[in-house]
Amino acid sequence: MSSKITKTITTGVQVKCKLCDANIIFDVNDSASFLSKTEHQNFFGMMLVTYRVQHIVNGEKHLNAVLIDQQNLFRGYIDAYKIPIMQEEKKVDLADFRNYLILEEEIYPLTSSDIFTNFFIINTTGWILEVAKLASINTEAVLRSIFDKIEESKTIYENIPQPLNIKVANLEFYIWIEGSTHVMVTFQKKKDTFELNELFERITKNIENNEIIPKKRIFKILDTILQVTDLAEKNPDIILRLLSDDLYYSKIKTRYPERIMEIIPKISKRHSIPKSILVDLLFGKYSLIELFEEKPELITECKQITETLDFINRRKLLV
């Protein structure tokens, strides 16, 4: 008679907050212990789930998006950000900026771009993100003027146009609104407004639905993509994946790393991707997003690189 030994998988998970290093504990079987979860398809031999969890510190919520594997083991951060604790209570008065949280205030916004002159994201539950900003701009004064005109537009239109065009001084803002999320942009070239309209509609919806995390790093990548590629016109879905796909923010880990050097020459030849890039990604030196941040010149190849990773993963060449 033989007995079968089974391994018990614990359902309790403890992770460190990426913002303040405090412990956050949740149970994968208790939906009340986390905000949301996103299940992913097989990722280089691993079944991964993104959990969004939070804790409260000094009057604000710290939200963390973390990757957990099928053994309920922590596999990395997607990202982390702050939101005001008032979010679940009521909308705040935009005129009173003391009640608004300026996200990533310590990181300078873009000051020069071939695409944007100003790029603000405002959520009327109480936070503001300055992605790009002219040095001479008083953000508070601009936003007050814009929201006054948004309120005026509500008395004129049954459905506010998307984007809503509002002039403030000599600046022409285009504004996309979805729920509490307001994306406000002034472009270097007016034609960009029409060419990027559909993309920005989808970006605004994804921010409102918590599919895109409001982080400056994400929108700096967007700015570079729009400058050096034609994906907005030809492949906007790739842009949205790069901004929102959790797995692109995770380093690749495989069960059989010894096979990597065996397949890299074949993959590199088939997809015309430099071997060094495949080595960096497949050995987990960088996540895809970290690679683009470290080597922004590679963003011109982002379509080819993402398609190559999909090819390797889909055919389970390293599993």
As a whole number of angstroms, the distance between CA 66 and CA 77 comes to: 4
As a whole number of angstroms, the distance between CA 96 and CA 99 comes to: 6
Residue 176 Cα distances to 31, 202, 204, 207, angstroms: 32, 10, 7, 11
Residues 57-73: pLDDT tens digits? 887 889 999 999 888 98
Determine if the peptide bond prior to 163 is cis (ω within 30°): yes
Averaged confidence pLDDT in the chain: 88
The answer to whether residue 2 scores a pLDDT higher than 50 is no
**The pLDDT of residue 60:** 84
More confident of the two residues 241 and 3:
241
Q: Are strands 101-102 and 127-132 parallel, antiparallel or unpaired?
A: parallel
Count CB atoms within 10 A of the CB of residue 288.
23
Residues 178-204: pLDDT tens digits? 999 999 999 998 888 888 999 999 999
Count CB atoms within 10 A of the CB of residue 286.
17
Beta bridge mates, 120: 130, 184
Helices (H) and strands (E) in the chain, counts: 10, 12
Range with top average pLDDT, 20-24, 251-255, 311-315: 20-24
Residues 74-127: pLDDT tens digits? 988 888 888 877 544 455 555 566 678 889 988 999 987 899 999 999 998 889
Radius of gyration, alpha carbons of the chain: 22
Tokens 């944007």 -> residue: 116
Residue 248 CA, chain-centre distance (Å), reads 10
As a whole number of angstroms, the distance between CA 110 and CA 276 comes to: 30
Beta bridge mates, 110: 132
What's this model's pTM, rounded to 2 decimal places? 0.84
Tokens 């005109």 -> residue: 149
> Average pLDDT for residues 11-26, to the nearest whole number?
93
For the chain, the maximum distance between any two Cα atoms, rounded to a whole number of angstroms, is 85
